[in-house]
């Protein structure tokens, strides 16, 4: 699992169309065509072959740690296949994405997500402090 954590002034994403790649992907049901959040931690991640719940737990803990360090409760979770060329199957990726989202239920974090399985446009305004960009591998 690979992740890019970005402390953002603003993140916005808009659905363009359903993705047909990788083969067999089934997009999630649309929540709304546009998702946006201000003063947030943007969490781009890719699920790779061999990833499991232990790696997911490590990623979840890194999100919580980073959010505390930068002082935000706003989280934007964004599946982002472009971080790896060793991607897991669409079924495994979607399952891990859904499991990650469920881990934030009953927490005091405000969590939103860009849509799984869609081509999207992105607007991203990242802060410039020393901890505003973090790349991690789990």
Cis, bond preceding 22 (omega within 30 deg of 0): yes
Q: How confident is the model at residue 86 (pLDDT cuts 50, 70, 90)?
A: very high
- Any idea which fold 2-137 has? 3.50.80
What residue ranges do the domains of the chain occupy? Answer: 2-137
| H or E, element range at 123 | strand 118-126
* Distance in angstroms (rounded) separating the CA atoms of residues 26 and 32: 17
35 with 73: CB under 8 angstroms?
Answer: no
Report helix, strand or coil for 97. Answer: helix
**pLDDT > 70: what percent of the chain?**
100
pTM of the model: 0.91
Tens digits of residue pLDDT in 22-57:
777 877 777 788 899 999 999 999 999 999 999 999
Measure CA 71 to chain center. 18
Region 124-135: mean pLDDT is 95
Tell me what pLDDT residue 14 has.
Answer: 92
């Amino acid at each position: 699992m690979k992740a890019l954590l970005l402390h953002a002034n603003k993140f916005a994403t808009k659905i363009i169309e359903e993705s047909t790649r990788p083969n067999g992907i089934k997009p999630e049901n649309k929540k709304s065509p546009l998702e946006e959040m201000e003063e947030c931690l943007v969490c781009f991640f890719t699920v790779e072959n061999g990833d499991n719940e232990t790696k997911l737990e490590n990623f979840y803990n890194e999100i919580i740690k980073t959010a505390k360090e930068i002082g935000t409760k706003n989280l934007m979770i964004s599946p982002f296949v472009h971080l790896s060329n060793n991607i897991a199957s669409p079924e495994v990726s979607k399952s891990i994405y859904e499991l990650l989202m469920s881990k934030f239920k009953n927490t005091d974090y405000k969590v939103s997500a860009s849509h799984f399985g869609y081509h999207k446009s992105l607007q991203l305004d990242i802060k410039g402090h020393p901890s505003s960009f973090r790349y991690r591998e789990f």
